[in-house]
Amino acid sequence: MIAGNLRLVLSVVQKFAGRRESMDDLFQVGCIGLIKAVDGFNADLGVRFSTYGVPMIVGEIRRFLRDNNAVRVSRSVRDTAYRAMQVREDLQKNLGREPTMEEIAQKMNQPVATITVALESVVDPLSLYEPVYNDGGDPIFVMDQIGDSGGEDSWISAMVFKDTLRSLTEREKKIMSLRFLQGKTQVEVAGEIGISQAQVSRLEKNALERIKREF
């Protein structure tokens, strides 16, 4: 069973390509998941082995990636996170909707802050340049959804901003003001102006290019 399903492990491992982890290491971890799947598989249930085996392999690899994360998390926090995930899944089935953090915390008899920190600790860090949306035009990255800090070291100060506003349209001025002077995210700007986030992204990009040319 193990030797005959190594290709299954390989197909799962390829979904995790592009990470910093060694593909050989991930393949070995996937094989551990395969062994566990073989041990727990019941052929009498009439379910294909791949249907049962793939989630086991994926789960083993994800556990490895979490435990091997560069951001070290204590075992107790990880255990709390995994129990919260299970509770969230159970509540979702019972309620027919995504449960709130308060409902998960109440079910576990834990403070909301404890559950929130635990769940956030086992999430893989994202690159600021990770694309989160693409409507066929310019992609929107994670950094586009984060508000600007507006500190003194920001390259676009209020004084320089005012000097460069003359070359922008009224809508571009509004977007740039909300984004760089008030520190709002593209999602918030889109809601306030009444256009899509993709449109905000394109208008902001065009305005920035024009400002750079002014400099």
pLDDT in tens, 44-61: 888 788 888 888 898 888
Q: Are residues 57 and 95 in the same domain?
A: no
pLDDT tens for each residue of 65-120: 776 655 555 677 778 887 888 888 888 888 888 888 888 889 999 888 888 877 77
> How many whole angstroms separate alpha carbon 14 and alpha carbon 3?
18
Burial class (CB in 10 A: 0-12, 13-18, 19+), 204: buried
Domain that holds residue 22: 3-67
CATH of the domain at 163: 1.10.10.10
Look-up of token digits 């551990």:
32
* Threshold 0.75, pTM exceeds: no
Query: Do residue 15 and residue 81 come from a single domain?
Result: no
CATH code at 45? 1.10.1740.10
Amino acid at 23: M
Amino acid at the residue 26 = L
Structural domains of the chain, count: 3
| pLDDT tier, 155 (very low <50, low <70, confident <90, very high otherwise) | very low
